Amino acid sequence: MNMMIREIEPCDYPGVLSLVNKELGSRHTTAENIAPRFERMKGDDRYRTFVALCDDEVVGFVSSVQSFALEFEVGFIHLVGLAVRQEWQGKGIGSRLLAHLEAYAVERGVNCILLNSGFQRTNAHTFYEHRGYDKGSYCFSKRL
């Protein structure tokens, strides 16, 4: 398997959109709004999205934002999305994307990555736990 990881480019948006909708179950991300979202993110150095490509086809992605908090001197990386196409899962792509993000965090001088994962995503929980991530809290949200 010949795979490469690089920063997202506009030609990758449809592939990432498919992953967001199929693998993450988004109902709010569309072809009309994904490009403006990525363009806003591209204009802010805190955001990074990396894609995994096999034969020039997007098979996975990881997206993050560097945030700041009182308990972290240099902030933390908030992993806001990670997905691999179902037929490509179990081939190490997710692990390589996560390792790529971890290396990026170290380059930025950040020593903590936080993420949220829905209760129903038990396979994802196992994936993260096997890679050294601990369950440390609940995430609360409220739509306004």
pLDDT tens digits for range 79-94: 999 999 999 999 999 9
Q: The domain spanning residue 47 has which CATH number?
A: 3.40.630.30
In a domain, residue 141? The reply is no
Rounded Cα distance, 11 and 27, in Å: 22
Distance CA 24, CA 36 (A): 20
Number of domains making up the chain: 1
* Domain assignment of residue 143, yes or no: no
> Mean pLDDT, to the nearest integer, of 6-27?
92
> Domain range spanning residue 118?
3-130
pTM: 0.92
Residue with tokens 């790529």: 100
Q: What is the DSSP letter of 109?
A: T
Averaged pLDDT score across all residues of the chain: 92
Q: Are strands 3-7 and 57-69 parallel, antiparallel or unpaired?
A: unpaired
Q: Which amino acid is at 16?
A: V
Tens-place pLDDT, residues 36-71? 999 999 999 999 999 999 999 999 999 999 999 888
